[in-house]
Structure 1
């Protein structure tokens, strides 16, 4: 009877589950939950009326629109071009492929302030690229989108690339031999495998873009009601020692970002179930 009981129990190959789980919870609590809880604690010093007045101020609302809209557009652009770049790096061989593959990670290593200064010097009206256009790129939402696309591209490429490497070329050839067109092969064979990775890359790039400050503050121009991003308003309030006001706006960004990322993860989960079944 005891042997049957032992056989029914699931044995873990690697012991120490309770210890590792406790360590994980402690680590996450100290580095994630505790700092985030301090944001809400600082905000509690405000009355509900004061909180509403701060987070719904016209300047704050305008910054929400700029931050979320530019982050969304940059995330979508990274999904398109990041997937194409990952496809090229996996499926084709060409000179200097390793160098280009390494350059994809450059935004990870480059200080954000340096990236912002470099992009501003390129796209300013008298810059190397900006001088050839009849419209302004720097100091407009378009410049912000370029900066956010720059810093978010590696998230999509590095998320999609391993999945593409696991998709054998023979699978595509088999699909073609059965009479499927290239579009049908991509839509019914390749895309179902890539969809979870694409959604993950988009969520990472989108989340990074929402909180980006260093690379955006230079190229944005920081014009209130036009190109001012929410992280800049938070930094301005911190410099003015208005900690309660800064944390109030941070709470709005935190809650909204959590809802959006939760929705993206829910869509990803539903997509996984759909493609599996």
Structure 2
């Protein structure tokens, strides 16, 4: 009995030590750092125009990428789940191949397409026009984030569509429902939890993406790059910590809302 009483604490001890050393202590230090320069440092993102613009850029870009990715990913994922054709698995593997690439490689792909020496610039010069570049601004970041996020949405929606209850769709069709009505009354409710969960993950990934932004964000600053500049170029650790806390709170809030709405949607469906 004594050995069994201590078995669970002994098993939990390594996990607790790891949690304490690599998560709790760094987070507590992160939260405490801004106080060294005054409590107003916690609100610097709301009082400084540069940081506020960087946060607004990050939010707008993340929301746009999330919405576009959900629309494209759901259409492609549902189509692949509902259609059987030769080479389907190969196509799905190619579509999800970017999952194996780090963000820096995705940024490099966009530079090869829209950079100063990219394909679009070379084509413009070949036809006697000016060299068109878009890799280093908002459009380049948007395309890179979309390319990085789309495989996750495709894989998620394909799995969700395969698990859908086809009897509901068949019953609606037998009652004379149109394709639009089936999408509205069957597909959307069935895929609502998937959409919320996938959208939250896509948004959080876009908010915190660094490798892609580091490669491309020379004309459009986002919060991860702002944080990197503060603690690397200026050694302003307190300000970098404050910006990190703001980024974490915004991302956590979106994930929390998605979980709440996702759970309530699932209960309502049952």
- 2:263 is aligned, of 244, 251, 269, to 269
Give 1:26 deviation, angstroms. 5.9
- Kindly indicate whether residue 199 of structure 2 is the aligned counterpart of residue 230 of structure 1: no
Cα contact 1:55–1:248 (8 A) shared by 2: no
Aligned residues: 257
Cα contact 2:213–2:225 (8 A) shared by 1: no
Query: Partner residue of 2:160?
Result: 163
Q: Secondary structure at the match of 1:45?
A: helix
Query: Partner residue of 1:252?
Result: 246
Q: Which is further off, 230-239 or 128-137?
A: 128-137
TM (norm. structure 2) is 0.83
Cα contact 1:159–1:200 (8 A) shared by 2: no
Query: Partner residue of 1:144?
Result: 141
Q: Which is further off, 64-73 or 49-58?
A: 49-58
- Please list every run of 5 or more consecutive structure 1 residues that lacks an aligned counterpart in the other structure: 1-15
Query: Partner residue of 1:154?
Result: 151
- 2:103 is aligned, of 109, 112, 118, to 112
- Kindly indicate whether residue 43 of structure 2 is the aligned counterpart of residue 46 of structure 1: no
Give 1:241 deviation, angstroms. 1.9
Q: Secondary structure at the match of 1:179?
A: coil
- Kindly indicate whether residue 53 of structure 2 is the aligned counterpart of residue 62 of structure 1: yes
- 2:207 is aligned, of 195, 207, 210, to 210
Q: Distance in 1 between the 2:183 and 2:57 partners?
A: 34
Greater helix share, 1 or 2? 2
Cα contact 2:230–2:237 (8 A) shared by 1: yes
Q: Which is further off, 17-26 or 113-122?
A: 17-26
Cα contact 2:120–2:133 (8 A) shared by 1: no
> CA-atom RMSD, angstroms?
2.8
Query: Partner residue of 1:97?
Result: 88
Query: Partner residue of 2:170?
Result: 173
Give 1:21 deviation, angstroms. 7.4
Q: Distance in 1 between the 2:120 and 2:205 partners?
A: 26
- Please list every run of 5 or more consecutive structure 2 residues that lacks an aligned counterpart in the other structure: 1-6
Q: Distance in 2 between the 1:122 and 1:76 partners?
A: 23
Kindly provide the CA deviation profile for residues 187-241 of structure 1, in whole angstroms up to 9, marking residues without a partner as x.
2122211110111111011100000011123233x23xxx111111111112132
TM (norm. structure 1) is 0.81
